[in-house]
Amino acid sequence: MNETTGNFGDDARRFHRIAGSKMTLLESHAANIALMVQNGAPFQLIADLLRKHGLHVSHSTVRRFHLRQLEQATTPTVVPSKPTVPPNQSAVKHTETPPFHTPGLRPKGPRIADPKNL
């Protein structure tokens, strides 16, 4: 039992994390990933090939990376400006108030008997 703990301790001391997140490591392979996806390769196959070349990522990481790349490519960089209202028109449109006898609409306030209906 002591031997197992010692080996783990040695491994823990030798461990060095690769700098950067997995997403940043995938950026150098973005064009190849996009090409493989375009040709119909499943994300699991892409992850397996990347693993063979020393980049250990899951298929869901590859999928998220690819979707982020697509979002960045399709997101417009220029935001269109809001249309301006000509000075002679008001920004607020006025609507007619409905008459009191419109079916389904009731005026606000207390409910009072209508003398015409008595």
Q: Is 30 exposed, middle or buried (0-12, 13-18, 19+ CB in 10 A)?
A: middle
Q: Give the pLDDT confidence of 47-106 residue by residue, as tens digits.
A: 999 999 888 899 999 999 999 888 887 766 666 666 666 656 555 555 565 555 556 666
Between CA 67 and CA 116 the distance in angstroms is: 67
Look-up of token digits 């960089």: 77
Q: Which domain holds residue 58?
A: 37-77
Q: Residue 56 falls within a domain, yes or no? A: yes
The arithmetic mean of pLDDT across residues 3-29, rounded, is 71
The pLDDT score that the predictor gives to residue 1 is 47
d(CA 2, CA 91): 79
Is 88 a member of any domain? no
- Per-residue model confidence (pLDDT) at position 36: 92
- Look at residue 70 and tell me if it is in a domain: yes
Could you tell me which residue, 36 or 97, shows the higher pLDDT?
36
- Confidence at residue 104, expressed as pLDDT on a 0 to 100 scale: 61
Contact 43, 63 (CB under 8 A): yes
Burial tier of 22 (Cβ tally within 10 Å: 0-12, 13-18, 19+): middle
How many structural domains is the chain composed of? 1
DSSP conformation class of 88: T
| 44 found inside a domain | yes
